[in-house]
Amino acid sequence: MALAVDQSTAADASRLNNIGVALMNQQLTEKALAKFEAAHTADPSAVVPVVNKGIALLYLQKIPDAEEALKQAAAADPNNARTWYALGLTHLNGGNPKLAIDDLQHVVKIDPNDADAHYFMGSFYLSLNDYAHAKQEYEAALTLNPIHASAHFGLARALQRMGDVSASREHLKRFQELTENKISSPLSAAYGEQGRYATVENMLAPPVKPGPMIPVTLVAEAITGPISPAPESTSVPRGSGACLFDINSSSSKELILLGSGERAIRIYEIDASGKFTETPAAPMGLRTSGQAIACAVGDYDSDGLPDLAIAFSDRVALFHNLGKGRFEDVTKAVGIQQLNKPAGVLFLDFDHDGDVDLFVTGAATNSAAGPSVLWRNNGNSTFTEWTGLTGLSGKESTAGATLSDINNDRAIDLVVTGADSSPAIYLNQREGKFKPMSLYSDATLSPTRGAAVFDFNKDGWMDIAVTHAGAPGISLWRNVDGKAFERVPLPIKDATAAWGLTAIDIDNDGWIDLAAIVQSSTGPGLRIFRNRGPEGFEDVSAAVGATKLNLSNPRTLIAADVDGDGAADLIVTEADGSATVLKNVGGNKNHSLRIALTGLADNKTAIGTKVEVFANGQEQKFEATGGAGYLSQGPTDILAGLGQTEQVDVVRMLWPTGVPQDEIDISAAKPLALKELDRRGSSCPVLFAWDGKKYQFISDVIGAAVVGHWVSPAATNQADPDEWIKVDGSQLKPRNGYLSLRFGELMEEINFVDQLRLVAIDHPENTDAYPDERFLSEPPFASGKAVVASAKTRPVAGAWDDRGHDVLALIAKRDHQYVRDFDNLSYAGYANMHTLTLDVGKWTPDNPIRLFMHGFIEYFSASSMYAAWQAGLEPIPPYVEAQMPDGSWKRIVDDMGFPAGLPRTIVVDLTGKLPAGATKIRIATNLQIYWDQVLVDNGPENAMQTRETELPLSVAHLAFRGYPQQIDGATPGDLHYDYEKISETGPFQWQRGPYTHYGNVTQLLDKPDNKYVIFGSGEEIDAEFSAETLPALPAHWKRDYFFYANGFVKDMDFYEILPFTVAQMPFHEESTYPYPATEHYPENADTLQYLLNWDERFETGNRSQRFQFDYKPTVSQPITEP
Report the amino acid identity of residue 18.
N
Q: Which domain holds residue 794?
A: 768-943
Predicted confidence (pLDDT) at residue 354 exceeds the cutoff of 80: no
pLDDT band at 229; cut points 50, 70, 90: low
Amino acid identity at 598: T
CATH of residue 791: 2.60.120
Residues 872 and 816 grouped into a single domain: yes
**Does the structure show a pLDDT above 80 at 682?**
no
Q: What is the CATH number of the domain that holds 57?
A: 1.25.40.10
Closest CA to 131 of 933, 1102, 1055, 1092: 1092
Model confidence at 604: pLDDT above 90:
no
Say if residue 524 is preceded by a cis peptide, omega within 30 of 0: no
Q: Are 725 and 741 part of one and the same domain? A: yes
Mean of the pLDDT values across residues 699-708?
94
Same domain, 493 and 517: yes
Residues 6+ apart with CB under 8 A from 714: none
Is residue 485 domain-shared with residue 435, that is, in the same domain?
Answer: yes
Is 651 among the domain residues?
A: no
Q: Is the pLDDT of residue 332 over 80?
A: yes
492: DSSP letter: -
The answer to whether the peptide bond before residue 1074 is cis (omega within 30 degrees of 0) is: yes
pLDDT value of residue 234: 46
How many C-beta atoms surround the C-beta of residue 419 within 10 A?
16
Q: Please tell me whether residues 430 and 549 are part of one structural domain.
A: yes
SS3 112: coil
The helix/strand count (H/E) of the chain reads as 15, 67
Contacts of 780-789 with C-beta under 8 Å, sequence gap 24+, read 781/704, 781/720, 782/897, 784/722, 784/723, 784/724, 784/1044, 786/761, 786/946, 786/948, 786/1042, 787/850, 787/907, 787/909, 787/944, 788/763, 788/943, 788/944, 788/945, 788/946, 789/850, 789/852, 789/935, 789/937
Q: Flag whether pLDDT at 715 surpasses 90.
A: no
Q: Where are the alpha helices (DSSP H) in 680-837?
A: 808-811
Q: Are 916 and 883 in contact (CB under 8 A)?
A: no
Q: How many CA atoms lie within 13 A of 588 on its CB side?
A: 16
pLDDT at 1104: 61
Q: How many domains does the chain have?
A: 4
Phi, psi of 161 (to 5 degrees): -75, -20
49 & 100 share domain? yes
Helix locations, 356-472, DSSP H: 387-390
Q: Which helix (H) or strand (E) holds 833?
A: strand 830-839
Q: Is residue 672 part of a domain?
A: no
pLDDT at 624 over 60: yes
Domain end residue (candidates: 943, 960, 989): 943
pLDDT-based confidence at residue 3 (cuts at 50, 70, 90): very low
pLDDT for residue 205 is more than 80: no
pLDDT for residue 352: 81
- Taking residues 962-968, what's their average pLDDT? 94
845 occurs within a structural domain = yes
DSSP H or E segment with residue 312: strand 307-312
* One-character DSSP codes across 204-261: S-SPP---SPPP-EEEEEEEE--SSPPPSSTT--TT--EEEE-TTSSS-EEEEEE-EE
- Both ends of the chain: CA-CA distance in Å? 57
Q: What is the pLDDT of residue 1?
A: 34
- Checking if the pLDDT of 550 tops 50, the result is yes
β-pair partners for 498: 518
pLDDT tens for 1034-1077 read: 999 999 999 999 999 999 887 888 888 898 999 999 999 989 99
**Within a domain: residue 961?**
yes
What is the pLDDT confidence band of residue 674, given thresholds at 50, 70 and 90?
A: confident
Same domain, 995 and 938: no
121 touches 151 (CB < 8 A): no
| Region of poorest pLDDT, from 76-85, 640-649, 884-893, 1104-1113 | 1104-1113
Percentage, residues of the chain above pLDDT 90: 74
- As a whole-number percent, the residues of the chain with pLDDT over 70 amount to 95
Look at residue 191 in the predicted model and tell me its pLDDT.
87
The 10s digit of each residue's pLDDT in 639-658 is 999 999 898 888 888 888 77
Do 63 and 94 meet the contact criterion of CB atoms below 8 Å apart? yes
177 and 277 part of one domain: no
Which residue has better confidence, 252 or 87? Answer: 87
Q: What is the pLDDT of residue 679?
A: 60
Q: Could you tell me which residue, 4 or 855, shows the higher pLDDT?
A: 855
Residue 40 host element (H or E): helix 29-42
Task: List pLDDT tens digits, range 883-914.
Answer: 999 999 999 999 999 999 999 999 999 999 99
Q: Is 1104 within the bounds of a domain?
A: no
The domain that holds 343 is classified in CATH as 2.130.10.10
**Domain match, 899 and 1043 both:** no
How many whole angstroms separate alpha carbon 431 and alpha carbon 74? 53
Distance CA 148, CA 157 (A): 15
- Residue 129's SS3 state is coil
383 Cβ contact partners less than 8 Å away, ≥ 6 residues apart: 334, 335, 336, 357, 358, 375, 376, 377
Residue 1066 included in any domain: no
Average pLDDT of 837-849?
Answer: 96
List of residues 6+ apart from 869 with CB closer than 8 A: 711, 712
Average pLDDT over residues 789-818: 95
Residues 899 and 959 in one domain: no
172-190 average pLDDT score:
86
For 557-566, what is the mean pLDDT?
96
Best CA proximity match to 591, nearest among 561, 628, 571: 561
For residues 696 and 790, membership in a common domain is answered with no
Which positions ≥6 away from 942 have C-beta within 8 Å?
none
Same domain, 701 and 773: no
Residue 888 covered by a domain: yes
Report long-range pairs for 382-386 (Cβ below 8 Å, ≥24 apart).
382/334, 382/335, 382/871, 383/334, 383/335, 383/336, 383/357, 383/358, 384/335, 384/870, 385/337, 385/339, 386/357
pLDDT of residue 659: 74
Confidence of residue 863 (pLDDT cuts 50, 70, 90): confident
Q: Which of 371, 343, 375, 341 is nearest to 359 (CA)?
A: 375
